[in-house]
Amino acid sequence: MSGRLLYVMGPSGAGKDSLIAWLRQRLAAEPALYWSQRTIDRPRSDADAQHEAVSSGEFAGLHAQGRFALCWQANGQHYGVRHTELLPLQGNAWVVVNGSRAYLPELLRRYPTALALHITAPAPVLRQRLLARGRDTPQAVEARVQRALQWVPPAHLQTLEFCNDGRLDDCGRALLQTLQQLPDWPPAR
């Protein structure tokens, strides 16, 4: 495998989907970037990021058939990234994956050269964004915020952290500038 996996993670409400969309819009002409799609056992809605929506039973069937290269559970949902979504790694592309902090150790065991990007925001911002989404009860929102406050990256891992608590454009520019300063950027095809 000669490509690189960019693993975007962070708490619910940090704006990962929005930040990935921001980057995708600005890097659309970059032929060696691939934006992976997740499979989620949650219906698609207008407010959600692009994903393949399946029922819980369909997800379980896909998992049993070994269709996922990456698979985790978070916040009562099942998430998977199909093997085909990671194939561009073999062609020297960089693949962007919207992932889970809890899955990070397993991801790094399987893809040790992955670059972990941790997107976060202060607790009041997370709380406000989650409540505005209207998907969770106030108790579930508080549980998500508390999990965000308790997460600590593994000591041996260098994560690039970005606070997305203001204008999306500001965080997006900081992230893009950091990526452009990496020694192996831009990805080669």
Q: What is the model's pTM?
A: 0.90
Which amino acid makes up residue 90?
A: Q
- What is the number of other CB atoms lying within 10 angstroms of the CB of residue 31? 11
Tens-digit pLDDT profile for residues 132-187: 988 889 999 999 999 999 988 877 777 899 999 999 999 999 999 999 998 888 77
CA nearest 162: which of 105, 121, 126, 124? 121
Tens-digit pLDDT profile for residues 76-105: 899 999 999 999 999 889 999 999 999 999
Domains of the chain: 4-178 (3.40.50.300)
